[in-house]
Amino acid sequence: MIAVEHERLAGFATDSWAAAVEAAIRSLDPAVVIFAGTTSGRDLAPRLAARFGAPLVANAIAIAGTAGAIVATRPVLGGRVQSDVTATGDLVFLSIGPGAYEKATATGATASVTSLDVDLSRTCRIGFAYWAWPPADSGGGASLANTDVVVAGGRGLKEAANFALVEELASKLGGAVAASRAVVDAGWRPHHEQIGQTGKTVAPKLYIAVGISGAVQHNVGMQGSELIVAINRDPDAPIFKIASFGIVGDLFEVLPELTRQLS
Amino acid sequence: MSNGTLIVAESHDGKLRPASLELVTAGLAAKQAVGGSLNACLPGAGIAAAASELADSASMA
């Protein structure tokens, strides 16, 4: 593997990172280049694909095919349909969906690390302004993007003040608070906490859905989670179809008890 | 003739980002499809620890 170490690569910045990755691609001449489904990966992938005049399939959840004709599967129509996209050419770019693949574990083998020197003196340090904004995203609690535990609340909480129950459980588990679109639209929670098609996509180890019915637009934003626990009063709520564990009951009884048991 | 698969890994504050290990698995799937070797590129500053964690995660060229 190649390490590209440079002071201009400290923290993500589009221009310098794109130059570093471009140099790595030119040096290795790969047939396929794959980016993570992170904000930075999604920023770099189309940029590099354009530089090489090569096709890009974004948000892949499965990769097959042969050299020269890669077949990538990606969810469309909010995840209700999966589409196989064939990308042809000597060089193909892919980005993968968050949580689409299991994390690799140590194999005992160790790859050799070589360093690649890249001249980044003409790149600029302007990265994403929005990494630091809005500041509320990083204030308090764990950040949604990097946490192992997410506790999400929905309309079942009845009013904004009751989110305190969600916050207590999240803080007990060292996790982040998230919200469904319904409660963000109602102004109970800020938009940066919204999970789903018009919000964030997360894939934590544990996702606890509290008072969320589980509309497909919500589920596409969290169905990659390793373990999904749903708490809902309605036994027919669609969230139970994708939940690993379901608790049918009154969240105003279940949540405080859960938090108490964890104390 | 182009060869193999390249994954673009990421680190944050000197640590390998978890998504990079998912990339290794995706990279192995792509390697199976196109043949050749699996390689990774890790840009950053102060990345020695992240690089060795990534190097341990799979057999790469």
- Average pLDDT (B10-22) is 89
Smallest Cα distance from A161 to chain B, Å: 34
> Given CB atoms, is B11 within the 8 Å cutoff of chain A?
no
Chain B residues within an 8 Å CB radius of A4: 41-44
Query: From the centroid of its chain, how far is CA A83?
Result: 20
Nearest CA in chain A to B7: A34
For A58, the enclosing helix (H) or strand (E) is strand A56-60
pLDDT score, position A138 = 42
Residues of chain A with pLDDT under 70: 124-142
pLDDT score, position A125 = 62
Mutate to test the interface with B, among A34, A44, A86, A90 (most CBs of B within 10 A): A34
For A131-158, letters b (16+ CB in 10 Å) and e give eeeeeebeeebbebbebebbbbbbbbbe
CB atoms within 10 A of CB B3: 18
pLDDT score, position B61 = 45
The C-alpha angle A24, A28, A30, rounded to 5 degrees, equals: 105
Cα(A44)–Cα(A66) distance, integer angstroms: 24
Give the residue carrying structure tokens 């679109």. Answer: A181
CB atoms within 10 A of CB A180: 31
Whether residue B2 is predicted with pLDDT greater than 70 in this model: the reply is no
Contact: B42, A30; criterion CB under 8 Å? no
pLDDT score, position A158 = 95
Whether residue B1 is predicted with pLDDT greater than 60 in this model: the reply is no
Chain A, chain B: beta-carbon pairs less than 8 Å apart: 193
pLDDT score, position A106 = 77
Across the interface, of B21, B41, B59, the residue whose CB is closest to A103 is B21
Predicted TM-score of the model (pTM) = 0.65
> Given CB atoms, is B15 within the 8 Å cutoff of chain A?
no
> Given CB atoms, is B37 within the 8 Å cutoff of chain A?
no
